[in-house]
Chains A and B, each alone.
Chain A
Amino acid sequence: MADSPVVTVHDRPNSYIGRSVPRPNVQRLLHGRGTFTDDIKLPRMVHAAYLRSPFAHADIKSINADAAKAAPGVAGVFTGKEIAELCEPWVGVLSHLEGMRSPPQYPMAIDRARWQGEPVVAVVAETRAQAEDAVELVEVDWAELPAACDMTAALDADAPVIHEEYGNNLCWERIVDEGDVDAAFDQAAVVVEDEFTFGRHTGVTLEPRAIISSWDPSEEQLTVYMSTQGPHMLQAIFAKHFGLEEHRVRVICKDVGGAFGIKVHTYGDEIATAALTMLLKRPVKFIPDRMESFTADIHARHHTIKARMAVAEDGKILAIDFDDLTGIGPYSMYPRSSGIEINQVLNLTGGPYTIENYRARGRVVFQNKPLMCQYRAVGHPIATAMQEALVDHAAQALGMDVVEIREKNLVPDDAYPTKSITGMPFDKLSHHAAKDKLLGMVDYAGLRADQEKARESGIYRGIGFACMIEVTSPSPMFYGVGGAPISAQDGVTLRLDAKGNLIVASGVTEQGQGAEAVLSQVAATAVGVTPDKIKIITGDTEITPYGGGTWASRGTGIAGEAAAQAGHALRDQVLEVAGIMLQSEPRKLDIRDNAVVDADTGNERISLAEVGRVVYYRADTLPKDYQSELIATRHHVPKKFPFAFTNGIHCSHVEVDVDTGVVKLLNYWVVEDCGTVINPLLVEEQVRGGVIQGIGGALYEECLYSDEGQLLNGNLADYLVPMAAEMPDIQVGHVTSPNSDSELGAKGAGEGGTGGAPAAILNAVNDALLPLGARLTVNPMTPERVLRALGKTE
């Protein structure tokens, strides 16, 4: 092996790290040449549509599909029972969430439907339109049952019990009790208390979920094209539940039009679509339409929390105590479980601060609504909003400035490595540096002066801060330990082709966030090629190294590191063979700009294309006892820490129209420390997009239900997503505390924006309303709720 003088990827000449290199896939997408799952048409392909339960809770007494079967173009109609014969049910619990329970779930309802939108009958036809026509002809004899919809009432003694064998609707409960909380509250100068409600919302990916399943009975091979975040996870799941060997299942993920955590679960309609191809021996496409997606995709977030904070005279936070309840639908989602969201709230709340006394209870309840599970920033928006609203509340009670109280309590930057009160180990965070950087971007004194002045003319502006931590790049401690087929490691293979180009294959997937750009930049840098020489391959279980895919802000921190290590290995291989060709010591050579050069002078000795030509076509010119290799695979898994925590601070400036209740977003600032920044443009766009998704939760998005469990606003006219016209400018700054668990030093940056925005906006709105004595503790902050807080409507 070459004895290279280059130590790390950071020492490379011509580095692409830290540069806003354009994404390799951007031209293709902008030219409309992307290949989304719906663009794929297989020979003899048919289309599925599902009859879904119109009721939140109902027995299926009988199904008559005769008319549907006879309808034009129909290839087959199948009930939940027929699908279940092909496929094992699943149970969405993780063993490390002790005591969690959830019954076996089948792809489609059998005998009883437990949420409005649960698939009941699958209809397959030559076109989706014909399938929908035939769905209308299926007759189901329903017997509606009392439903447990309201999550707070789901634990009441008289609530209908969804799974009778459990006796009640509790799925999981966790209690944390650290320090002496009661004593801390007794000593407190001030105790503030709030009751928070966070609305249930959903992911609304621009491209809906999408799947084409194709069964080849001759080879017992299942090929699944899918818009997904975790091809290998789904490969394992399809194999397990259909009783196939994993190498008989190939999952191919082409372009993905947004995912946000929506596309990393096991959906009954997708598993059933795989069963349909086995039954019909024809490829089957299923793409839920927008209205279906509203009741078929996972929902997220819904929490009610009673919380209090004890604070000393000098502003020191003494204790936090809260009780959180969340409703997850009738099952815990498989395989990630629906317990992680609340688990994160219990783990993360208070994380930026030095807190010695902490008590929390989290309860997860079953209810007759769509399943709830991990969505961008899992638990963070809730934990951060609760914690930050309490901090502001305490500052008010003490008459202290909201920045000052944070300065007093943030964990000092020189305290690392350290642990939070809930046992979260922190490698290196930078709360104070981030806050200082933010205060350099925000004219805080100026905003306060403007606020004073505006109030005189009846204009109410507010400034809200939010300090936060973010879980990124998790180790197997997240899911693997709980028994889920979710890989925390990821691999990257680099191969030099005969023309000196670099082919990069990775287990992470691209969903619009720029994972491929990061892989390209790291590989280019580590090997010494220019990005135009690189081809990236992701999203195919048959040709990429095994890996977990894209979730929990892990692509850069984990696959990025694997790319760096694979790059070193390939570079060594190239220098070794080049050394033989050039009769030079490999360590005196380097690779720069697609050529092997003298390390000292930088003078070109031989191009990579020439190396490729000789290795692949003229190996006869190399020594007979020497075999060259121009391919290297490396994997990476976090080892030192269970998570690569990052930190950030947000500031929101708003104006509240106190007569209409409309909140106008004037400006927004974020400072984020995600370790080494590989591509500033991509990080900043992740932060901005994330903030906008957080704004959705703070101001607009909520799945509204009738008492009977009917979704009232399941369309994009009534379910409001944030839109460009209302969005503020978002200014992003960086502090860099490299991840010590890797050479690259990168952590994740995909979710911090979403985690912090609801908190900052909540605080800003409350700051605006402070002189009017109004306070909101609810998301989204709709005009109606703002007016109610102001006492202007009943």
Chain B
Amino acid sequence: MQKTRDIGKLKEIAKNLRKDILRMLHTAGSGHTGGSLSAIDILATLYFSRMRHSPDPSFSGPRDRFILSKGHGAPALYAVLAESGYFDKKHLMTLRKMNSILSGHPYSPSTPGVEVCTGSLGQGLSIANGMAMALKLNKTDEKVFCMMGDGETQEGQVWEAAMTAAHYKLDNVTAFLDNNGLQIDGVVKDIMGIEPIGDKWRAFGWEVFEIDGHDFGQILDALDKADRTKGKPSLIWAHTVKGKGVSFMENKVGYHGKAPDKDELDRAMAELDAA
């Protein structure tokens, strides 16, 4: 797919990706709906507007990388990878099934375009840092993007990695915080508050850009600013809505790990079509 900065086009792409996510989760009968929908606008922007990448294994140009640290958002990653041509879209309907190339959480050996294994939360930013260190040694301007959940930042390793990226001045790392306010057991601030989260990242030596994670203009603008940030890593602190795009799923804890049934799928599709 051609890269685009056209916001109307990105909206259209994201709408179709949301449909793919809902269809694949419905067919799978299980999986993580809410966090896939909160992340998809950012993933769409990365894969169809910002990252230099190609599904062609012989592609040798500069290649940016993406790590979905919140691995349970795999349906969102699979949707953008299929749309980018890493594998045929028909595989989406095999999600979580026996012998599928699409595991419940990202498993690199079986899925083209998936860089590393994630799912056990908290490890992705460290991996992104390692890639960024290698790219710096290679003296290329390739970049590494990473996405974390807000609940995920309760993991200690996230803060080890936050220190590392600042210490080694990894300005080729841009991390996204999918700040949808919810985790499995409830509201993040009730379970284990993370605020003041922007101050925490700043205190750890990061440049922080606070945005609406569903506003393509703001996502693109923050990515441009992160590009211009030298000598330190950037965190794009994205306020998002869990279940975004489907009214009855939005901000509902219950849709964290629940796939839509037939009725829910039909209603969700109708809503997306009407939007």
Q: Do A and B bind each other?
A: no
Q: Hey, which bits of chain B sit against chain A, CB under 8 A?
A: none
State the A residues within 8 Å of B (CB): none
